[in-house]
Amino acid sequence: VELARRAGLEANYVTGRAQLLSDGQRFTADHGWNAVKVDGEWKLMDATFGAGDLVGRDFRKRFRDFYFEAPPEKLIFSHLPDDGRWQLLPRAVSRGDFERRAQLTRDFWALGFAPDTVLAAMRVRDFPGLVQSWEVQGHPVTVQQAPMLRTLPAGTQHAFRIQAPGATAVNAVSGGVWQPLQNAGGTWQGEALMVADEMVVLVTYPDRPAGEIILKYLKR
């Protein structure tokens, strides 16, 4: 707030509840973030979430630009202000709806998932949670098509389309079986079979020859 005001910007301190997933565990706690008016429009910013992570008792720096001017329709999955006006949504989300929403990792939105797709996945009967997801630092990755649910039935085939400019390979790996996606101008697509207890999608770059996992599914 002080930095914004010294820069001549109108800013407010927003209090409420924040929740996230870390190592598979859900955390919900009192929290504070900011609303800042930029070019006449209110924007939501969370410098705490954008600065890094707590790993045990240790803070590890990791910049995430998503939390600076975060889209309100995405931030509401993890941040519920005490004053509903600061949701900045056409229709406010209740605390009950907020607590029933899917829990997301901090990397989830970096992969380009759309809020309406997430809400549709949550309506599935016996909702198992959303796919585990991780961004690749320094490399933009957009998941254009992929299963949204955390668990998949064994023996089922699923379509993927992943935009990963500069990648040298994208593979779906299940039970030691590598199933490569085909590259078409930086967009990798194809189908993969869930043959074991889990399946991961692995993106390989010249500076990451071992590959980076961006999606992980478990057997239903």
Chain segment 73-90, per-residue pLDDT in tens: 999 999 999 999 999 999
Q: Is the predicted pLDDT of residue 181 greater than 70, yes or no?
A: yes
Rounded-to-integer distance, Cα 29 and Cα 132, Å: 22
Rounded-to-integer distance, Cα 15 and Cα 31, Å: 6
Question: Averaged over 117-130, what is the pLDDT?
Answer: 92
| Confidence label for 23 from pLDDT (cuts 50, 70 and 90) | low
Residue 118: in which H helix or E strand, if any? helix 115-122
Residue 106: closest CA among 29, 50, 59, 55: 50
pLDDT (0 to 100) of residue 7: 94
| Confidence label for 55 from pLDDT (cuts 50, 70 and 90) | confident
Q: CA 46, 201, 124 angle in degrees (round to 5)?
A: 70
Q: Is the predicted pLDDT of residue 22 greater than 70, yes or no?
A: no
Rounded-to-integer distance, Cα 10 and Cα 40, Å: 9
- The region of weakest confidence among 74-83, 99-108, 111-120, 158-167 is 99-108
- DSSP, res 139: B
Structural contact between residues 20 and 44, judged by C-beta atoms closer than 8 angstroms: no
pLDDT (0 to 100) of residue 67: 95
pLDDT (0 to 100) of residue 11: 97
pTM of the model: 0.88
- The region of weakest confidence among 57-66, 108-117, 201-210 is 57-66
Q: Phi/psi at 108 (nearest 5 deg)?
A: -55, -55
**Integer-rounded Cα radius of gyration of the chain:** 19
Question: Averaged over 209-214, what is the pLDDT?
Answer: 96
